[in-house]
Structure 1
Amino acid sequence: MTGGLEYALIAVAALWGAAAGALLPRAAHRFAVPAGEEWRSACPRGHPLAGWLGPARCRACRETPYGTDAGTASGAGAGAARSTGAGAGPAYGTGAAVPVTVTALVCAALAAATGTRPELAVWLLLAPAGVLLATVDFRVQRLPDPLTLPFAATALALLGPTALVPEHAGEWTTALLGALALGAGYFVLFLINPAGMGFGDVKLALGAGAVLGWYGWPTVLLGTLAGFLCGALYGGALVVARKAGRKTSIPFGPFLISGAFVGLLIGAYTA
């Protein structure tokens, strides 16, 4: 791949990542609830939210200034809200800067490692979902079923036809076996220590095993070890900083995803 084409591909991937990341804040807000609770259906002030993708802003809030109940807003209050430049309403959550930046960097790195091979399209489609999963788990230590299981199914469904396209560098059969193997491995860890490994991690491992398995068993092993190493370093840093004890539970999903990302980069680069 020539230098100009490589840089153009990376730039396009970064733009795609930034655009996709801008759609994640609302979904992160709605999914980031403790285990056992229903997904959020309203903004922090109680206005119903429509849809799952988009910025974390409520259109109804622009008509209702803070300090006024949603059902009793006056026309004057709405004018005051507009005069403050509220636009689509006050932002809630942590905003779009982090998901936009992270997703853009992830997609750019994947493009740099994969090049013009057809599986790049699969990685770019899956990357925003991975960022969303990591964000939600980091916030509330929960990996939503509507994301984990479709992530694995989508990975395998997209890699199937990709294996028929010329110049691909992986094997769909190994991707399937990798999903089953990593899922089974995490399931054993869950049975051994349910307090330290959530069942959501088991479901997420299916998708991670699929993308890692595409490039073979060494990549599966590398990505798995990288995930545990990242988690151990994070937990150790918290203990040293006295922000956690040895028995403190930490979300493992972000590190499982980070390990898969590292393994995928190396696997794609060396393929």
Structure 2
Amino acid sequence: MHLTTAVAGTAAGLLTGPWIRAAVFRLSVPPDTPDRTACPRCGRRLRPASADRCPSCHERVALPCGVTEIASATMLGTIAGAVGPRPELIAFAWLAVLCVALATIDLIVYRLPDRLTLPAYPALAALLAGAALLNSEPGKFLRAVLAGAVLAAGYLLLALIRPGDLGLGDVKLAGPLGMVLGWVGWPSVLFATALSFVLCGLVGVVLLAVRRADARTALPLGPFMVYATFVVLLVTPGQ
């Protein structure tokens, strides 16, 4: 555990919390729907990064203040403590912040917006390329890019075979997750992929057992993909 780096990561996570809350507010809408910019009750234009209730009608319009800050601080603090002060930490931390927003949106409206997933490809590739140059490890960068492509292709194949069980948002998310996992190593790619489906299945079984779901209930896979990825990164950060 790198304590100093963990503290810095936690502080950075607290600072990104308002951005995550605003992104969740704007993008937690059905597909092909404009971004949410106003209170659904009174129509006042809002800035949910600084408040979770409408100042006019006091309707709750965003996640409570502190929720996204705590989630982001926990994610960044643990990742920073595990990885330490290495160049790839910037790429891992950037993706962690993005994934907190994506997982939250997926839980709320069962979608992973292109607005967040697609820009992740060039941004993450650039950050990992910079880390590879600083570390003099071009092989890791090539493996990361290949792993991202392979994982996205694998998810696309599953989506084509079982279109009702897997969405294109999951396919697009698989690429960036595969890149950071590929940086660590191929075993991490395989383990995280398997873990995401196992966790989703276990949660489904629990919901069935407590009668909170039935056989037709769909679960968003995105949060399980994110959780499995960062569990693996915490376990094997430096391979």
TM-score (structure 1 length as normaliser)? 0.81
Equivalent residue in structure 2 for 1:200, among 145, 169, 184: 169
Counterpart of 1:47 in structure 2 is: 44
Counterpart of 2:147 in structure 1 is: 178
Query: How many equivalent residue pairs?
Result: 238
The 5 Å alignment of 1:50-129 reads 54-57=49-52, 61-62=54-55, 64=56, 66=57, 91-129=60-98
Q: Distance in 2 between matches of 1:91 and 1:55?
A: 13
Q: Secondary structure at the match of 2:14?
A: helix
Q: Secondary structure at the match of 1:159?
A: helix
Residues 153, 241 of structure 1: CA spacing in aligned structure 2 closer, same or farther, 3 A cutoff? farther
Could you give the per-residue CA deviations for residues 102-122 of structure 1, whole angstroms, max 9, x where no partner exists?
Answer: 111111111121012111121
Instruction: Name the aligned partner's letter for residue 43 of structure 1.
Output: C
Asked if 1:24 is matched to 2:26, the reply is: no
**Structure of greater Rg:** 1
Could you give the per-residue CA deviations for residues 104-149 of structure 1, whole angstroms, max 9, x where no partner exists?
Answer: 1111111121012111121122211110000000000010001011
Q: CA deviation at 1:180?
A: 0.5
Conserved in 2, the CA contact under 8 Å of 1:223 and 1:259? yes
Q: Distance in 2 between matches of 1:210 and 1:56?
A: 35
TM-score (structure 2 length as normaliser)? 0.92
Counterpart of 1:79 in structure 2 is: none
Identity of aligned residues (%): 37
Structure 1 residues without counterparts, runs of 5 or longer? 67-88
Equivalent residue in structure 1 for 2:123, among 144, 151, 154: 154
Q: CA deviation at 1:169?
A: 10
The 5 Å alignment of 1:218-229 reads 218-229=187-198
Q: Secondary structure at the match of 2:181?
A: helix
RMSD over aligned CA atoms reads 2.1
Q: Distance in 2 between matches of 1:167 and 1:18?
A: 32
Structure 2 residues without counterparts, runs of 5 or longer? none
Asked if 1:140 is matched to 2:99, the reply is: no
Equivalent residue in structure 2 for 1:36, among 32, 36, 40: 32
Could you give the per-residue CA deviations for residues 136-172 of structure 1, whole angstroms, max 9, x where no partner exists?
Answer: 0000001000101112322112101110113779710
Instruction: Name the aligned partner's letter for residue 131 of structure 2.
Output: T
